[in-house]
Amino acid sequence: MRVNPEDEENIRKAGKIVNERLKKYHEQFGIDDKQDLLAMVAFDGMVEKLKAESQVQSTDQTIVNQIEDLNQLVSQVI
């Protein structure tokens, strides 16, 4: 697999995480089918991604609300 040098560290980390999860699911569920294990890992990764995106969106909205509140306060003072 060819990757850009600046992406290499993240690729290695991702590979390590995938391998750890494959092992975890194999031990936890006793599944030997690599395709099933990979599907489970992919699904788990997507759920985590969606959760993280939701948290970021919530944080972004909180920041926007705080900035709007600050703008109102500044407008009142000016």
- What is residue 9's predicted lDDT score, i.e. its pLDDT? 96
Cβ atoms within 10 Å, residue 25 = 18
- Write out pLDDT tens, residues 18-63: 999 999 999 999 999 999 999 999 999 999 999 999 999 999 999 9
Q: What pTM, to 2 d.p., does this model score?
A: 0.74
Which band of pLDDT confidence, cut at 50, 70 and 90, is reported for residue 78?
A: confident
